[in-house]
A and B are shown apart, each in its own frame.
Chain A
Amino acid sequence: MSDLAIAAKGLRKSYGDKTVLDGIDLAVPEGTIFSLLGPNGAGKTTTVQILSTLITAGGGHARVAGHDLATEPQAVRAAIGVTGQFSAVDGLITGAENMRLMADLHHLGKQEGQRVTARLLERFDLVEAANRPASTYSGGMKRRLDIAMTLVGSPRVIFLDEPTTGLDPRSRHTMWQIIRELVTTGVTVFLTTQYLEEADELAHRIAVLNNGTIAAEGTPDDLKRLIPGGHVRLRFTDPGAYRAAAAALTAATGDETAQTLHVPHDGTQRDLHTLLTRLDAAGITADELTVHTPDLDDVFFALTDAPATSADAPANGAAPTKETVR
């Protein structure tokens, strides 16, 4: 077990009578990117808060970087770096002052502190903004400062809670690049995201969290193998036709705003024929029909059984949802 950066068994947490985590197990090998994937409210942040010693679990136990969370929290803290879902910078002082604060709290000497902070400011493209109050930074800059601060102590295990939520596409790709670079130095990254594309892109292993339990765990390929087929995507321009199709195809999941339906499909000609016959019988014509081979979207929808008209569920893993964080 010594090669596991994070090993958790039966983690539980409830608030009042609401159970947020209902016994989750995690095993994250050292030097890998692990992604906890789940919709809003699944319990991702709660998991990160427990594993990073911010809150105590209601049950279960876990070891992070070889130390027990409950009995050696300071040893865990010495080994980890956390970039939470919400900005963890001091907005009242400048970026450089935030960095110096971290260097002082990690007890780096004056010269080493200066060297480390200068290098990180440079690496995260914050040199120009270094002497401005952090509250004036854009979302992407704040995130970069946040991660730069996390890296000052050279943590061995890094937690990133939805690091790209609310970022524009360019900042998001920059962030992906940063995350990939992190593991080249042997650190372990525990990443949460609502975006399937992101987990698929970055993670060696993915756990799908839904309603406080791990619905599936494995490599991206393992997960794709979990469901036999892909789906057929139907797009409508006429809301009446969309509603009629949603009613006729009970197996479909839909996105009302995008006027699209996803119908599970096992990849056979017969299955496709059945679908077309049903549409014909109901007198429905889709404006666009595409056949998709299985991808993580399908896994996600199959495992989290998103309701057919839910506006919260991302219709496509790549599409950012409405959630805005800062």
Chain B
Amino acid sequence: MSTLSLAVRDSSTMLRRNLLHARRYPSLTLNLLLTPIMLLLLFVYVFGNALSVGIGGGGGPDRAAYIAYLVPGLLLMTIGSTTIGTAVSVSNDMTEGIIARFRTMNIHRGSVLIGHVVSSVLQSLASTVLVAAVGLAIGFRTTHATPLEWLAALGLLALFALALTWIAVGMGLISPSAEAASNNALPLIFLPLISSAFVPLHSMPGWFRPIAEYQPFTPAIETLRGLLLGTPIGHNGWLALAWCLVLTVLGYRWSTATFNADPK
């Protein structure tokens, strides 16, 4: 069998194993899903009146406009949150004896991690669909999005999930325990809080703005907003793609190098 078909075959076997885990023990993924949904409801119904002033353009509070503003950021935050689960489950999995067995079998070396990554990206996308459904239920409406823009939005979400997942896999691999993994992965849920997800960049203090502007979440959020709501995307599109590419490559190399080293 060629190397590629071997890789595909073993990776899909590993994916089946990971999906079986996810289906049988969904509580972690579901718990992590609660964070973005609660934040969405909290920001819309509790802080919404104060924070939305000026967002709709009319000057006063505008709930519909603020929901539209929030949902793209929360979709990306959902991905960050789901990948914390990835770090935890990778770390847990590495303590399972079966990993040692895989290492002594004649299988594609990368398949164990690829199985985790594909399963985690699928879970991320499923979670964003659920958060989007909550958004729709409380009144989120896209204004201009064409089918092509919807497709691009989906592609962006998938790429972003892929990038964060590879980083989370690396974090899981270097973490000796599940607790350590979830601590190490905290930036993945913390970064969206200091992005343009909840308030526009121009409302942040000047010294802080560059940090918020160039971190991975903000360009992705602005691009998603542009695709779904027709706001200007500008250089954010390229920036978001560059971040996805860089994080994917770094995360992939870090994770595979860590996995291929002698186990501790």
Contact = CB atoms under 8 A, between A and B. Distances in A.
B104 A101 contact: no
Given A55-B262, A91-B96, A92-B25, A84 B101 contact: yes
Nearest to A74: B106
B24 A54 contact: no
Interface stretch (A75-83, A244-252, A286-294): A75-83
A93 B21 CA distance: 7
Interface in B75-96: 96
Given A77-B106, A88-B101, A56 B262 contact: yes
A90 B101 CA distance: 10
Interface in B51-102: 96-98, 100-102
A66 to B, nearest CB: 15
Contacts of B206: none
B13 A105 contact: yes
Contact of B100 (A88, A97, A104, A107): A88
A74 B1 CA distance: 14
Interface string B89-133: 000000011101111111100000000000000000000000000
B17 A107 contact: no
A316 interface: no
B144 interface: no
B85 to A, nearest CB: 14
Contact of B24 (A78, A82, A92): A92
Contacts of A89: 97-98
Contacts of B101: 82, 84, 88, 149
B17 to A, nearest CB: 6
Nearest to A90: B98
Given A77-B105, A92-B24, A93-B24, A54 B17 contact: no
Contacts of B17: 90, 93, 101
B46 interface: no
Contacts of A88: 97-98, 100-101
A84 B100 contact: yes
Contacts of B10: 105
B253 interface: no
B1 A87 contact: no
Interface residues of B, number: 23
Interface string B9-36: 1100100110011001100000000000
B205 interface: no
A107 B20 contact: no
Contacts of A87: 97
Contacts of A80: 104
Given A90-B17, A93-B24, A78 B100 contact: no
Contacts of B21: 92-93
Most buried by B among A82, A90, A98: A90
B263 interface: yes
Contacts of A82: 100-101, 104
B149 to A, nearest CB: 40
A78 B262 contact: no
A58 to B, nearest CB: 10
A84 B105 contact: no
A144 to B, nearest CB: 15
Interface string B236-264: 00000000000000000000000000110
A88 B263 CA distance: 14
Contacts of B262: 54-56
Contacts of B24: 92-93
A164 to B, nearest CB: 17
A97 B19 CA distance: 13
Given A86-B97, A88-B97, A105-B10, A93 B105 contact: no
A253 interface: no
A88 B102 CA distance: 9
Contacts of A91: 96
Contacts of A154: none
A31 B72 CA distance: 64
A30 B78 CA distance: 56
10 closest A-B pairs (Cβ-Cβ)?
Answer: A78-B106, A88-B97, A88-B101, A77-B106, A104-B13, A90-B98, A55-B262, A82-B104, A52-B104, A87-B97
Given A53-B103, A93-B21, A98-B98, 11 more contacts: A52-B104, A54-B100, A54-B263, A55-B263, A74-B106, A77-B105, A84-B97, A88-B100, A104-B13, A105-B107, A153-B105
6 contacts: A55-B263, A77-B106, A82-B104, A86-B97, A86-B100, A92-B24
Interface of A: 52-56, 74-75, 77-78, 80, 82, 84, 86-93, 97-98, 101, 104-105, 107, 149, 153
